[in-house]
Structure 1
Amino acid sequence: MSAAERSRRGGLLRVALDQIARDLPDAPKAIAHRLSEEGRALRALNVEDLRRGASRALPGPAFDFIEGGGADEVTVARNRAAFGALELRPRVLRGVAAVSTATTVLGEPIALPLMGAPHGAGLLFHPDAETGLVRALQGAGTIPVVSVMASQTIEEIARAAPGPKWFQMYVWRDRGMTGELLRRARDTGGYGALVLTIDTPRLGPRERDARNGFVLPPRVTLRSLRGGVAHPRWSARVLRGPEIGLSNFAANDVASGAVYAFDAGLTWRDIAWFREEWPGPLVLKGILSPDDATKAVEIGVDAISVSNHGGRQLDHAPAAIAALPRVLEATGGAIEVYVDGGIRRGTDIAKALALGARACLTARPFLYGLATAGQAGVARAVELLRAELDMTMTLLGCASVDDLDRSFVGPVDQQQR
C-alpha cells in the first residue's frame, strides 16, 4: 500500500471516529427511543407489522379477543379475500401532483374517509385505552365511534377527548338500561351521531374466547397466569391499572349477565324511539341485505354501515365489501353508506370508495396499534393507511376521493388468479 493510500485511509478513519465521538452523548437517548413504544410504532411499515407487534405484546387470550370471529371464522377470512378479488384499474396522465383524501360524513369534514369502528375492552390492550385511541383518531382529523362496551365511561372519554366523535350502542331487553345509557351519552355532549348496532340479537359463537375462558372482566385462570408470566410488562400494567371491565354498566348488571341480554325481539318499529330520543344523526350498523337497506331509507335514518360485525357474529355471512354494491343500489343514493370489515390497506379504502361507499370504518388495525404502542401506535396505524390511500389515489390517477368511481375497480380476471 502506498503512502498516499495509507494517508487517505487514515483520514477517512479520523473522520469516522470524530463522527462517532460526536454521536456518543446521544447514543443512550437514541437507543432508548428505538426501544420505546413510540420507536416500535414508527418502525412499522404497514398494519401487518402492527399486528405482529400486538401479538408479541399481548397474552394469547387478549390477542385472540382482537383476532377472533364467529365459529369457524369463515366470514373473517371472506372479508379479506373479497378485497383481494377486486382489482384496481388505473388511468394515466391525469394531473395528480396534489392529492386530497378529505371528505365529509353527515356534513362533518374529515381528513380521510376512514373512521374508527366501535370496540370494547381498551384497557385490556394498553393503559391509554379508549381515550388514547380516540385522541389519536381525532388528531388525525377523523371520527372515532366510541362503544358503549368501552372499558372507560361515556363521561370519562368525553372529558379526555372533547373533539368530534360518535357513540355506538346495542339494544337490551332491559329498556330501562338502554334508555339510561342513551340519555347519558346525549346529556354528556360531544357525541355527534348515534350508531345503533342491529346485527346482534345475541352474541355470536366466539369459540376462541370460549376455549381461552375469556370473559369481561377477565378472570384469573391457569391459562391467564401462564400468559401473564410470558408477558411481564402487560401483567405489570394490568396489576397497577384500574379494573378492566365494562365501565358503563352497574356491577350487578355485569355480574348477572344483563349486559349481554340483547333484545332479540327488536323490530324496525323500535327504531323510531331512538330517532325521537337522539337529537343528532342516526346510523344503523350491521346491514347486509338490500331489503334492509330499503327499510332503513324508509324509516328515515341518516346513514347505514354495511357490516358483518368484523366476522364476529353470523359465520358464513357475505363479505361486507361484496354486499356493498347491492346495498348501495337499494338506497338509491338517499342516505350515506359506509362499509366496515377487512380494511387493512389504503388500497382497500380506495376499492370501497370506488364502489360507492362514502367512507370506511375499521377497528382491528387501530387495536393492533394500541396494543403495540398505545396512542402513538394508533396514530401510526392511521398515518400508514392515510399514506397508502394517498399513494393509491396518485397511482390510480385520482386527485380527490370524489374522483373515485366504479371505472377504477372491478373483479380480477379469472386468468390472473
Structure 2
Amino acid sequence: MPAITCIEDLKRLYERRVPRMFYDYTESGSWTEATFEKNCSDFHDILLKQRVAVDMSGRTTQSQMIGQDVTMPVALAPVGLTGMQSADGEIKAARAAEAFGVPFTLSTMSICSIEDVAEHTSKPFWFQVYTLKDDDFMRRLFERAKAARCSAMMITIDLQVMGQRHKDIKNGLSAPPKLTPKSVANMMTKMRWGMEMLGTKRRFFGNIVGHASGVTDPSSLSAWTAEAFDEALDWNRIREFRKIWDGPFIIKGIIDPRDAKEALNVGADAIVVSNHGGRQLDGALSSIRALPHIMDAVGDKIEVHLDGGIRSGQDVLKALALGAKGTMIGRSFVYGLGAAGEQGVTKALEIIHKELDLSMAFCGKTNVKHLDRDILMVPRPFLGDWA
C-alpha cells in the first residue's frame, strides 16, 4: 500500500480500485447533493482553540457507547452493499472494528448475512434494520439478530420512501452488478476487485434472499424492495419494535429536535443525529449543524451520537465537544475497505484515532470524556437564525 496519511488518500485509492457504480453509490447524495456536501463542509466552519503549556501526557481516547467500552467514541455505521466494495466486505470491516475496539454495525441491506458476520467474529456487533411492511420478515430478522448475539439494535427511520439518487439510477446499481457494456468495460479495469469477487459466494443481499417471502433471486428481490419500505410508519410502530428488542435500542435518522423527543418517549437508549448521509432529503440541515439544537432539547436525557460528514479525527473532536457521546463513520471506512480490504479499514481507524488524539492534545485536553464547547469557536450564524 502506498503511503497513506489521511482519509482522502484512502478515497483516491478506493476510486481507482472499485467499479464506478459502487464508488458512486458511496460518493453521492440525492438530487443536487447539497446536503451531502454540507455534511462535510459545515465542519470547517467550526474552529478549534489551541492551548499551550498544558501537561499533555497520559492522554486517553477511551470511552463508552451505550455502555460498551470503546477505544475511541467512533462506531462503523451501517452501510448497504458493503460486500460489493470488497469481497466479503462486511466480514472484513467487522473484524477490523473488533480488533481496534470499536463497534461495527451491520446493515440489513448487507451482502454478508447476520450469520456470516457472527461466524467470522468473536465479539457481538450492532445490527441495523429498516422499518419494513413485512411483519413476519421483521420479526424473524429480530430473532436472527438475537441468535447471532447482536449487542444492540439500530432502527433507521428516515427511509420510509427512497430519495432520488441520480448516479445510482444512471448506473443501474444492483448486487450483483448488471452486466451491461458500460459496467463490463469498467469492471475489466478493476481486475483486483474482480478476482476477489470471483472467489466468494456472497454476491447477493444475504439478509434478504432466501429469508423474505418469495425472494429467491435478484429479480424477485427488486420487486420485493420496491414495496418493502413502510410509508405508514409512525411512532406507535417504532414503540412496537422497542418491545420486541430487550437490549440497547438506537434510533437513527434524527435531525429535528421534535423527533429527538419522540425517540426519547418511545424508550430509545440512544439516537443518531443523521440525514442518511445526504441521500434522502436534499436541502436539509447538515448533521453537525443539527446537533446543538438536539443537544439542547434532549442531550441530558438520552445518549446522542452523530453520523454524517466525518472524514477526520478533528471532525470527531468537534462533534464530541458539541455534546455527542459518540460518532459514526460510513464513507470513511468504506474508502479504506475498497482501497485495501480489512487492512484498509484498520488504516482508516488508525488515521482518525491519531488525528483525534493529537488534536485533543493541542486543545489542552487529555481525556475524550472531558471535551466541551470551551475548545471550540463556533460562529453565531452556524446555529441558525431562521425566520
TM-score by length of 1: 0.87
Give the Cα separation in 2 of the matches to 1:148 and 1:408.
38
Q: Displacement, 1:128?
A: 4.1
1:255 maps to 219
User: 2:64 is matched with which residue: 72, 81, 104?
Assistant: 104
Bigger CA drift: 259-268 or 197-206?
259-268
Give the Cα separation in 2 of the matches to 1:239 and 1:155.
21
Q: Displacement, 1:396?
A: 0.5
2:254 maps to 287
Asked whether the equivalents of residues 42 and 289 of structure 2 are also in contact (C-alpha less than 8 Å), the reply is yes
2:329 maps to 362
Structure 1 residues 128 and 250: alpha-carbon distance in aligned structure 2, compared to 1, 3 A threshold: closer
1:234 aligns with 2:190: no
1:164-243 equivalence runs, <5 A: 164-189=124-149, 191-243=150-202
SS at structure 2 position matched to 1:196: strand
Q: Displacement, 1:162?
A: 2.2
1:156 aligns with 2:110: no
Per-residue CA deviations over 1:55-112 (Å, capped at 9, x if unaligned) read: 0101211211111211111111110111011111123333211210010111111010
SS at structure 2 position matched to 1:98: coil
2:317 maps to 350
1:406 maps to 373
2:34 maps to 74
Give the counterpart letter for 1:255 in structure 2. S
Aligned length, in residue pairs: 373
2:23 maps to 63
1:4 maps to none
Q: Displacement, 1:332?
A: 4.2
Give the counterpart letter for 1:263 in structure 2. D
Per-residue CA deviations over 1:322-342 (Å, capped at 9, x if unaligned) read: 000001111041110000000
Asked whether the equivalents of residues 193 and 282 of structure 1 are also in contact (C-alpha less than 8 Å), the reply is yes
2:266 maps to 299
Give the counterpart letter for 1:164 in structure 2. P
Give the Cα separation in 1 of the matches to 2:124 and 2:5.
28
Q: Displacement, 1:183?
A: 1.3
Give the ranges of 4+ consecutive aligned residues of structure 1 lying more than 4 Å apart after TM superposition: none
1:30 maps to none
TM-score by length of 2: 0.93
SS at structure 1 position matched to 2:188: helix
Per-residue CA deviations over 1:113-152 (Å, capped at 9, x if unaligned) read: 1100001222212124111101101111110111111111
User: 1:323 is matched with which residue: 272, 287, 290?
Assistant: 290
Q: Which has the higher helix share?
A: 1
Give the Cα separation in 1 of the matches to 2:125 and 2:205.
19
Give the Cα separation in 1 of the matches to 2:32 and 2:24.
14
Bigger CA drift: 268-277 or 379-388?
268-277
SS at structure 2 position matched to 1:230: coil
Per-residue CA deviations over 1:264-295 (Å, capped at 9, x if unaligned) read: 10100111211111120110000000111111
1:123 maps to 83
SS at structure 1 position matched to 2:194: helix
1:310 maps to 277
User: 1:273 is matched with which residue: 236, 240, 248?
Assistant: 240
Asked whether the equivalents of residues 218 and 245 of structure 1 are also in contact (C-alpha less than 8 Å), the reply is no
Give the counterpart letter for 1:118 in structure 2. P
Structure possessing the higher radius of gyration over alpha carbons: 1
